[in-house]
Structure 1
Amino acid sequence: MNRSVFVRAALGAVALAFAMDGAMASDYPNRPIELLVPYAVGGGTDAVGRAFADAAGRYLANGMIVVNRPGAAGAIGHSEGARAPADGYKLTMVTPEINLAYLQGIGKARPADFTFIARLNIDPIVLIVPANSPFKTVQDVLAKAKTKPGEVALANSGKGATYHLAAVALEEKTGLSFNNIPYIGAGPEMTAILGNQVEGGFATTGEAGTYVKTGKFRLLGVMAPERLKEFPDVPTFKEQGVDLQLGTWRALAAPKGTPPAVIAKLKEVVAKVVQEPRYQQFFTQQYLGMVYEDGDKLPAELEREFKFYSDIVTKLQLK
């Protein structure tokens, strides 16, 4: 085949691929879309996922269905989402554990396995205890850990997950040790704290805020640069002598290779959802930090986050 024939054939193949993508997009979606949540029912990621799916269903003829795939610090759900057919019918609510699980040898999925549509939420991590706890401040927890090393039972949403990282980062910062107890998600973790099965735990206000406002939990500290406007009386960790800032986020993503026309349609849906007063009110009522960031901006940021977490995982010997 001479060069001109080869070029014409290559251009023809590209044109055919675009035509097929266009045909797929024009018919998309013609069945329900699955939204994988890599954690158990009841946690912040589940809440964000269900709020989005409910709202998105008003703009999708066949709706959106939430499917929970908890376990292995989100690695099970992230891996399933990454391996899904790149046709836009199985999306994933991706979280920072996509990097953390990989760095710790728990999971194989990477951010590069996805095409990000939009980031929907960002929250700082907080330390909570049952309302009847003797702990009133972060320093109270640290004081007991000094006298009883390794005995203060603090829950997290799974070994290797962001909330577990918050616990071990606090240990590294203070030179103390806790009895870190993992659950398969923040939902089961909240149940354990409510039942006084543990002395406290790490989460975000998305999971714990309602319990705090109704007097079931006490919020001891916020891992943020400033106090939260919803809880202005609760000091940051830095104000309490521990300069520690960590948080989590949730982003909507499709498998890598999903046709651009399909991604564009999904972005159109997101743009409509985030304008809904009902959707916005949900975040306010649940003490979740609502954001709307285009997915094209995320890969570069996740590369920086990968380096940040890589340094922490190496320093704390978490691999």
Structure 2
Amino acid sequence: MQRSTFLRAAIGALALPLCAANAFAADYPTRPIELLVPYAVGGGTDAVARAFADTAGRQLSQGMVVVNRPGAAGAIGHQEGAKAPADGYKLTMVTPEINLAYLQGIGKARPQDFTFIARLNIDPIVLIVPANSPFKTLEEVLAKAKSKPGEVALANSGKGATYHLAAVALEEKTGLAFNNIPYIGAGPEMTAILGNQVEGGFATTGEAGNYVKAGKFRLLGVMAAERLKDFPDVPTFKERGIDLQLGTWRALAVPKGTPPTVIAKLKEVAHKVSQEPKYQQFFSNQFLGMVYEDGDRLAPELDREFKFYSDIVSKLQLK
């Protein structure tokens, strides 16, 4: 009898935390939610995050606030997001740099530290120069790099980040060398290119598209299988004999261990946001590639991407 009473009491005690967690999740959210961006204000990831937070905040009773944590190719922000309490009050806009930073020994966070809610965006990388640049074509950039090795100054969004990888991969494909200049995000990088502090840089049309349309940047090449519909006159790198197809993406995630009911709520919100015409129009206006993919579908792709980047990092000795 005493043994039976003890077991019932023990089982009841174990069930209490679960019941409390479920009750907590049922009331979610009861305070504002933070959306952590691992990059500076003004870049493509920041823009996607703010568009999402603005739309999602109108659906949530407590709203959503964007917080920027730039530095170390996104590693600082990714690490903070991975280590946050698993309660749904700190989300992270995860990018491919989570794999790249880990592989290069820059960061400790990995995709396995998160549960992914949804992927919101995919874009190919492009090469841009200021509108007053003497470079009119990709070939002219390569020709100068050949005649003056290591002197062509090309900006990227941070050492070890995707845009830096694009520059290094181009060097490897062509046998050339550039002067690769890192910034703490694509926003500061765009400022540097606008100010002619560098000769050009790597980004996506999400950061550079409006500058191109406004006549402030010239777009020289796209690292994609096909030309972009918004910039049909710009050739792909492959058309120019350089088989490079690299890009970036942005996905919404929460720390591993977040209650299933909270994850379900966030997935519901993310799906509703993707249906909003104003949100969809934002992506079109900013030349960003909008997608909506449930987070559960990302795991196999992240595994493939990890292997792809692992091979590149090893081959190019980037660690």
| TM-score by shorter chain over 0.5 | yes
Alpha-carbon distance, 1:298 to partner: 1.1
Alpha-carbon distance, 1:16 to partner: 4.2
1:100-149 deviation digits (Å, cap 9, x = unpaired) = 00000000000010010000000000000000111111111100000000
Equivalent residues of 1:99, 1:111 under 8 A apart = yes
Equivalent residues of 1:21, 1:261 under 8 A apart = no
Task: Please give the alpha-carbon distance, in whole angstroms, between the structure 2 residues aligned to 1:291 and 1:7.
Answer: 51
Alpha-carbon distance, 1:32 to partner: 0.3
* Residue 139 to residue 5, structure 1, CA distance change in 2 (3 Å): farther
- Higher deviation after alignment, 261-270 or 20-29: 20-29
Paired position in structure 2 for 1:153: 153
SS in 2 for 1:58: helix
Alpha-carbon distance, 1:19 to partner: 2.4
Paired position in structure 1 for 2:231: 231
Equivalent residues of 1:158, 1:182 under 8 A apart = yes
Paired position in structure 1 for 2:173: 173
Alpha-carbon RMSD: 1.8
Is residue 214 of structure 1 aligned with residue 234 of structure 2? no
* Residue 239 to residue 4, structure 1, CA distance change in 2 (3 Å): farther
SS in 2 for 1:209: helix
Task: Please give the alpha-carbon distance, in whole angstroms, between the structure 2 residues aligned to 1:159 and 1:244.
Answer: 19
Alpha-carbon distance, 1:8 to partner: 7.2
Is residue 128 of structure 1 aligned with residue 128 of structure 2? yes
SS in 1 for 2:132: coil
The alignment-based identity, stated in percent, is: 85
Paired position in structure 1 for 2:265: 265
Alpha-carbon distance, 1:27 to partner: 1.1
Is residue 73 of structure 1 aligned with residue 58 of structure 2? no
Paired position in structure 1 for 2:311: 311
* Residue 5 to residue 257, structure 1, CA distance change in 2 (3 Å): farther
Task: Please give the alpha-carbon distance, in whole angstroms, between the structure 2 residues aligned to 1:6 and 1:246.
Answer: 60
Paired position in structure 2 for 1:195: 195
Task: Please give the alpha-carbon distance, in whole angstroms, between the structure 2 residues aligned to 1:5 and 1:305.
Answer: 53
Alpha-carbon distance, 1:7 to partner: 9.0
Task: Please give the alpha-carbon distance, in whole angstroms, between the structure 2 residues aligned to 1:94 and 1:81.
Answer: 9
How many corresponding residue pairs?
Answer: 318
Alpha-carbon distance, 1:13 to partner: 6.6
Paired position in structure 1 for 2:86: 86
* Residue 296 to residue 143, structure 1, CA distance change in 2 (3 Å): same
Alpha-carbon distance, 1:84 to partner: 0.3
* Residue 19 to residue 209, structure 1, CA distance change in 2 (3 Å): same
**Runs of 4 or more off by more than 6 Å in structure 1?**
3-11
Alpha-carbon distance, 1:22 to partner: 2.0
Alpha-carbon distance, 1:17 to partner: 4.8
* Residue 19 to residue 244, structure 1, CA distance change in 2 (3 Å): same
Alpha-carbon distance, 1:25 to partner: 1.5
Task: Please give the alpha-carbon distance, in whole angstroms, between the structure 1 residues aligned to 2:5 and 2:126.
Answer: 63
Equivalent residues of 1:96, 1:248 under 8 A apart = yes
- Where structure 2 has 5 or more consecutive residues not aligned to the other structure, the ranges are none
Task: Please give the alpha-carbon distance, in whole angstroms, between the structure 1 residues aligned to 2:218 and 2:196.
Answer: 13
Equivalent residues in 2 for 1:20-169, closer than 5 Å: 20-169=20-169
Task: Please give the alpha-carbon distance, in whole angstroms, between the structure 1 residues aligned to 2:238 and 2:7.
Answer: 62
SS in 2 for 1:265: helix
Equivalent residues of 1:154, 1:180 under 8 A apart = yes
SS in 2 for 1:51: helix
Alpha-carbon distance, 1:23 to partner: 0.5
* Residue 301 to residue 4, structure 1, CA distance change in 2 (3 Å): farther
- Where structure 1 has 5 or more consecutive residues not aligned to the other structure, the ranges are none
Equivalent residues of 1:121, 1:250 under 8 A apart = yes
Paired position in structure 2 for 1:204: 204
* Residue 4 to residue 182, structure 1, CA distance change in 2 (3 Å): farther
Task: Please give the alpha-carbon distance, in whole angstroms, between the structure 2 residues aligned to 1:22 and 1:183.
Answer: 43
- Higher deviation after alignment, 240-249 or 20-29: 20-29
Task: Please give the alpha-carbon distance, in whole angstroms, between the structure 2 residues aligned to 1:90 and 1:57.
Answer: 14
Task: Please give the alpha-carbon distance, in whole angstroms, between the structure 1 residues aligned to 2:206 and 2:172.
Answer: 26
SS in 2 for 1:163: helix
Task: Please give the alpha-carbon distance, in whole angstroms, between the structure 1 residues aligned to 2:210 and 2:178.
Answer: 26
Task: Please give the alpha-carbon distance, in whole angstroms, between the structure 2 residues aligned to 1:4 and 1:135.
Answer: 83
* Residue 150 to residue 15, structure 1, CA distance change in 2 (3 Å): same
Partner amino acid, structure 1, of 2:62 = N
